[in-house]
Copies of this chain bind each other. A is one copy, B any other.
Amino acid sequence: MRLHRVIMGIDPGLAHTGWGLIRQNGSKLDCLAYGCVTTTNDRPLEQRLKTIYDQIGAVIDRFHPTAVGIETVWLGANTTAAFATGQARGAALVACANAYVNVGEFAPNQIKNAVVGTGHADKHQVAYMVAQILHLDELPTPDHASDALAAAICYDMNDRIGHLEGKQVVNQ
**A residues touching B (Cβ–Cβ < 8 Å)?**
43-47, 49-50, 53, 73, 75-80, 82-91, 93-94, 96-98, 103, 105, 169-171
Contact = CB atoms under 8 A, between A and B. Distances in A.
A170 B44 CA distance: 7
B94 A49 contact: yes
Contacts of A89: 83, 86-87, 90
Contacts of A86: 82-87, 89-90
Contact of A91 (B73, B80, B94): B94
Contact of A79 (B79, B87, B93, B171): B79
B97 A47 contact: yes
Contacts of A82: 79-80, 82-83, 86
Contacts of A105: 45
Given A73-B83, A75-B79, A90-B91, A98 B50 contact: yes
Contacts of A94: 46, 49-50, 53, 90-91, 94
16 contacts: A44-B170, A45-B105, A46-B103, A49-B90, A50-B93, A50-B98, A53-B97, A73-B83, A80-B82, A82-B86, A83-B83, A83-B86, A84-B86, A87-B87, A88-B90, A94-B94
Nearest to A75: B79
Contacts of A44: 103, 169-170
A66 to B, nearest CB: 14
A98 B95 CA distance: 13
Contacts of A73: 83
Nearest to A43: B170
Contacts of A75: 79-80, 83
